[in-house]
């Protein structure tokens, strides 16, 4: 079940911007390997958070439009 948005959780747009920054840094490839690994881990965490947010939003749209509940992962 997706985590509820808290005050500490950044907005989706902010998370996507940070993901873009991470992707650009990793594409440059000039950071030490330990920094690249840290950035990769941060990026994967952001991806999971964005996916959970979007899954929750999809369920809300389905509910509001009267569509039957279905598993978002199906």
Please check the confidence at residue 71 and state whether its pLDDT lies above 70: no
Check whether 3 has a pLDDT greater than 90: no
Is 58 within 8 Å of 72 (Cβ atoms)? yes
Whether this prediction's pTM lies above 0.75 is answered by: no
Write down the domain spans for the chain. 12-64
Mean pLDDT of the chain: 87
Structure tokens at 13: 């747009």
Report how far apart, in Å, the C-alpha atoms of 2 and of each of 25, 37, 45, 57, 65 are.
Answer: 28, 26, 13, 10, 20
Residue-wise pLDDT tens digits, 18-35: 999 999 999 999 999 999
């Amino acid at each position: 079940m997706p985590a509820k948005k808290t005050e500490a959780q950044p907005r989706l747009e902010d998370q996507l911007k940070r993901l873009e920054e991470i992707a650009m840094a990793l594409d440059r490839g000039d950071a030490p390997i330990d920094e690249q690994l840290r950035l990769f881990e941060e990026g994967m965490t952001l991806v999971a958070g964005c996916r959970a947010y979007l899954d929750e939003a999809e369920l809300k749209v389905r509910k509001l439009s009267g569509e039957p509940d279905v598993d978002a992962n199906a």
